[in-house]
Structure formats: structure tokens, C-alpha cells
Amino acid sequence: MRRPSSSPLVLAALASSLTLLGCSPKPTDSKAAAKADTKSDSKPAEEVGVEAGADAPTAEQAKAFVTEVDAKLRELWTAESKAAWTNATDITDEHAAAVAAASEQSMAYIGQAIKDARKFDGVAADPETLRQLHLLKVATTLPAPNDPAKRKELAETATKLDSMYGSAKWGDCTDPEADSCKDMGDAMEIISSSDDYDELLAAWEGWRSIAPPMRPLYQRFAELGNEGARDIGYKDVGELWRSGYDMSPAQFEAEMERLWQQVKPLYTQLHCHARAKLGEKYGVDKVPADGMIPAHLVGNLWAQEWPNIYDDMVPYADQPSIDVTEGLKNAKFDEHKMVKTAEGFFVSLGMDPLPDTFWERSLFVQPEGRDVQCHASAWDVDYNNDLRIKMCIKIDMEDFVTIHHELGHNYYYQNYYTKPMLFQSGANDGFHEGIGDTLALSVTPAYLQSMGLLDEISEDPKAVINKQLADGLEKIAFLPFGLLIDRWRWGVFSGEIKPEDYNAAWWKLRNEYQGVAAPVERSEADFDPGAKYHIPANTPYARYFLARILQFQFHKALCDAAGHEGPLHTCSIYASKEAGKKLKAMLAMGASQPWPDALEAIAGTRKMDAGPMLEYFEPLQEYLSQQNQGRTCGW
């Protein structure tokens, strides 16, 4: 396998309570509330003169209500965000308790505010007010029950799950300081770099040994979250999550399925070829030619992205290397320079440089002597351009790309921070996740060479295929994973997946969608979903699936704006002010308009569509179908 140290560390980060936010750990609801909150008794609608049983409220009262909510959210979410930053960069019991206290306040307030907002249903208020009333109703990912005791229990359970993940260790921890006691980063390192089947298996199983204690907590967490969802008018938490897309929850489910069907044939081809290559490497007794791929052999602890098996599959070894990890090291890039270079891409499009405070306050390097949440995240701590990233950067290609991803979040924040709080989100959460990735699609070998990071590049069609395979292993391989995480959670929240079937249902989805199998027998004594950060942290995941699709729509639209001619995979928008202008206009909208309006503004269409992704990967598609001739694909 390639990169000796690879995938971004995924230690615990904080989940956002705003369904529309990106991966920013802004106000959290999974962080909990240990104390009952007096503010839960405040009645925002009454404060603006709406009495229960009074005449129908007016448009003016509705406007006054959202103004009041905006001020309160600014206060509560900023306090929460500050506490969360402190804890994420220095995890201690005291800092965690401060987060919990701040979370409790916003959780209680927002529950009440959502109920109050319903009093304005049907009021002919101005569009901005109506939009904020709508967004308020979907502005939490973890609704708390009305009952203060249950709210407290939910808050404590959510906090506990999150910290169990963040502090998880595996191996021999008789002495927690000894090398035999391992963390997630160690498991990731082994999975991404080892070629030894048994060593890979030990790391895969070892990491999953952290999760079984989460199972009863997760069950209770789902029960209490559902009670909270019902208290604000939803059937369950899953329905609340699916309500954040300017369409009905059922329509959203159908949209996800439609997009998946568009890309499934391409995934099946990639799977088929990867399986054959891994069969050559590990033997068909381990990787059967017509079966599923063992989950520990694809170079990623969760089998979610597979670029680390590129070296096992490199189509044309005579072509120059496209991995800049060596280049970054040779050119003496440090963490700061990697971020500066990524910022330079955004600035080349006409965006403002990041504020000085970004450079003063961000965390780029894992510090010695204190625990931090290493999972990469991007912040606007005060919702007023206090931009930061928190990331334990490794000097490699993968993290160079992840830095672009994070800065995508920061540049969204930078362009909408003057808007009301409820508009300070992506058009939908997939948009937020897709911005940095869109720019990273323009980080082409030619661009990297111009940055002094690749010595030699080639325009040979063979070199194109190499690059396409590397991209496909990241972008295409992820798709079924991106889809199934929330299919599992939607099932859990709706009750379709029963607690006694949590693990079996998880593997059924992994098998069905990814064609990936557990390498050893699993049972209900395991809780494998808990070993993936976003489950204990309660971060919705459909957003990443959408982002993989949307980023190619954005890329194509921006390439058109940049006047690019030729195949989509040859485009780089670097330094195109026209592309920048278009992107900036969309970012500045935040969530102020339904997402189809934002998509139309940038791409001229109101529909999410995998067409541009398929177009980008046309050369790979052709290569894969040649390679797969004579093979039986599927599982």
C-alpha cells in the first residue's frame, strides 16, 4: 500500500446541532446538558406579545419573534462554540462540563423556540421571516425531550458517547503510556500502510473492541432523541434530519436513492477491479473473485475511501508518480505552509485572505501533553468571522486535500457571517461539505507542479488513467458508504432496526451497498457502528454523500465560468476570477434561499445530478470496463 501515514485522524470532534452546518463543531446538542435550565421556561413568542389563545399573530409579531430568536441564538451558540473550542483543543473534565452546561442552555431554548415558532404557521410574514421560521424547525440534530430529567439524561448520554469515542484505546493498556496501548491513529496507520493480512486484521478488530460498551447508551440515546423529536412535531429523529432539504422527508429519501442508482454501475466496476487486484495480492481464498471484499484490506479503517490501495492497482507504472507526499517533504512544506498554499487557491479566485486571527488561533499540530480532538474541523467561533481550523496535520497528500476541504467550510463562513444566525449554514449541508472538495478537484498534477510539489508530469493518456484511478478510489469508493450510514440510523430511529439487530443490520447494509464484508464473524456482542466517529458524535452523514455528487456539479459549472474547454477532468479553475465570482455569490446566500435556488445560481439547474461526476470519470469508466472483461462483477 502507499502512504505510510495516511487518512486524517478521526478523533472525537463535536457535532453540530445545526443540520445545515458543515462539519464545524458549532453549537452542539450531542454535548450535553447536565443541569436543568431555567431558560427552558422562557417563552420567546410571549416575549413578542403572542399570548396563548389570543388572536392569530401578525406578520410584524412573526418578524419580531425571529429577530428575538436571532439575538438569543447568537448569544447561546457563541457561548457554546467558545466552550467547545476550548474543550476540543484541550480535553479535560472541566472543559467538557462547560460545554455540557452551554449545550444544555441552547438545547432547552431551541426546543421551546421551535414550539413557539409553530404559532406563526400560516402567518403571511415576509420571505426572510418565513425562511427563518422554517429553518428554526430543522435547526437541531438532537432534539431534547420536554421532561427536564430526560433532557438531562439525553445530554449526559450524548456526552458520554462522544467522549468514549474520543478517549478510546485498544491493545494492551495495562500501562496506558506503553506502546502496546493504542489509539485510533495507530489503527489508521496500520490499516493504511501494512500489507500483512493478520496485522491488518488485528488493527481492524482492535479498533472495534472500543465500541460494545456504547451499545446500551446508544439505544437509550435513540429513545430519548426520538421523544424529543416527537415533542417538536416529528415522528422520529431521522424524519427531523430528512426535513432539512426543502422537500418532504420521503422525497429526500427518494432523491438519495435516485442519485445512488445513477452512480451504482460505476461503483460496481471499481469494486470489481479492486477486488480482482486484492485477490492477486492476498489470494482468492481471502478475496473471493465473485464475493465481497474483506473490510480490512482497502487501506482505510472504515473501508470508506480506498486511495491507499492505489499502489496495488496502479494502471501504468511507467508514468510519473502523482503522489505529492514526497514532494511536500522535499519542498520542506510544514503544516503552516500547507494551509497557506490552500488559502492561496481560494485567494486566486478572488476571495479575501483569511483573517489574521485565523493564523493566531487555529490548531494545526497535535500538541504534546494534552488531549485534543484531532478530527479535522472548521469553525467560526463567534459567527462573526472568527475563523479557525483544528486539525492534526500530517505532511502528506491526503491531508493537503483535507485542508482544502476544511477551508471550504471557512470560506462559506467568511461569505455569510453578516447574515442572521439561521442563514449561517450551507444551502443544504451537502453544499457545505462540497466546497473545499470542489477546489481540490482543480488540484491537478499541472497545478501541483507549478507549486513545486511534483517534478515531472505527463500528458500521456496513461497518466490520465492513473490520476483517474486515484481520484476514483477516493470519490467513487466512498459513495455507498456515504449512503448507508444514515440508512442505518434512519432505520434505528424509526424503529425498523431493533436494538437486538443493531450490528446485523449494519453489516447487512455494508454487504448490500458496499460489497464489503466483516473479515471475522460479528455478533450482537459487537457494536461496529460505534467505531465510526459520526455515530457516537451524532453527526448526520447524508451530507457527505450529497457532497460527493454536488462537487462535480459545482466543478463543471465553475469550469464553464472559467472558460474551460475540453474534457472535465482536465479543468483547473485556479486563478479564475469568473469562477470565483460565481462561487462567492452562492456562498454569500448561505441558507437564505432553498437550496435549488442556490444550485441554480451556480449551475443553472435545480436538480442534484450525478451526470457531471460520471462525465468526469469517463476515461476511468472505459478503463475499468476493459479491465473487468471476462470477470463477473457484483457480489
- Residues binding ligand X8Z (CB under 6 A): 8, 10, 23, 304, 376-377, 402, 544
Cβ proximity to Zn ion: between 227 and 433 the closer is 433
The partner in contact with residue 544, picked from ligand X8Z, Zn ion, none with C-beta cut-offs of 5 to 8 angstroms by kind, is ligand X8Z
Cβ proximity to ligand X8Z: between 154 and 363 the closer is 363
Q: Which one is catalytic: 406, 474, 564, 569? A: 406
Query: Does 616 count as an annotated binding residue?
Result: no
User: Shortest distance, CB of residue 451 to ligand X8Z, whole angstroms?
Assistant: 22
- Write b or e for each residue in 356-382: b if 16 or more Cβ atoms lie within 10 A of its Cβ, otherwise e: eebbebbbbebeeeebbbbbbbbbbbb
**Four-residue CA torsion sign, 578, 581, 583, 585:** negative
User: Shortest distance, CB of residue 561 to ligand X8Z, whole angstroms?
Assistant: 26
User: Shortest distance, CB of residue 16 to ligand X8Z, whole angstroms?
Assistant: 9
Query: Does 296 count as an annotated binding residue?
Result: no
* Cell output for 524: 450482537
The partner in contact with residue 10, picked from ligand X8Z, Zn ion, none with C-beta cut-offs of 5 to 8 angstroms by kind, is ligand X8Z
User: Shortest distance, CB of residue 23 to Zn ion, whole angstroms?
Assistant: 3
List the alpha helices (DSSP H) in 425-460.
429-440, 445-450
Contacts of 570 (CB under 8 A, 6+ apart): 444, 564
Q: Which one is catalytic: 273, 375, 534, 555? A: 534
Residue 435 makes contact with Zn ion by CB under 5 A:
no
Closest CB to Zn ion: residue number: 23
* Cell output for 582: 460565481
The partner in contact with residue 159, picked from Zn ion, ligand X8Z, none with C-beta cut-offs of 5 to 8 angstroms by kind, is none
The partner in contact with residue 221, picked from ligand X8Z, Zn ion, none with C-beta cut-offs of 5 to 8 angstroms by kind, is none
Closest CB to ligand X8Z: residue number: 23
Provide the 3-class DSSP secondary structure of residue 170: strand
As a whole number of angstroms, the distance between CA 15 and CA 4 comes to 29
Stretch (H or E) spanning 483? helix 461-494
Cβ proximity to Zn ion: between 21 and 278 the closer is 21
As a whole number of angstroms, the distance between CA 436 and CA 159 comes to 29
Do residues 493 and 141 lie in contact, with contact meaning Cβ atoms separated by under 8 Å? no
Do residues 590 and 426 lie in contact, with contact meaning Cβ atoms separated by under 8 Å? yes
Cβ proximity to ligand X8Z: between 376 and 587 the closer is 376
Do residues 535 and 489 lie in contact, with contact meaning Cβ atoms separated by under 8 Å? yes
Q: Residue from 23, 338, 558, 586 that binds Zn ion (CB under 5 A)?
A: 23
- Other C-beta atoms closer than 10 Å to the C-beta of 205 total 17
Provide the 3-class DSSP secondary structure of residue 490: helix
Letter for the amino acid at 288?
P
Question: Which span sits near Zn ion by CB under 5 A: 433-441, 445-453, 526-534, 594-602?
Answer: 433-441
Give the CB-side neighbour count of residue 66, counting CA atoms within 13 A. 25
Query: Does 433 count as an annotated binding residue?
Result: yes
Cβ proximity to ligand X8Z: between 203 and 463 the closer is 203
406 given a catalytic annotation: yes
Residues tagged active-site: 406, 534
Extract the annotated binding site for Zn(2+). 405, 409, 433
Extract the annotated binding site for chloride. 245, 543
Extract the annotated binding site. 245, 405, 409, 433, 543
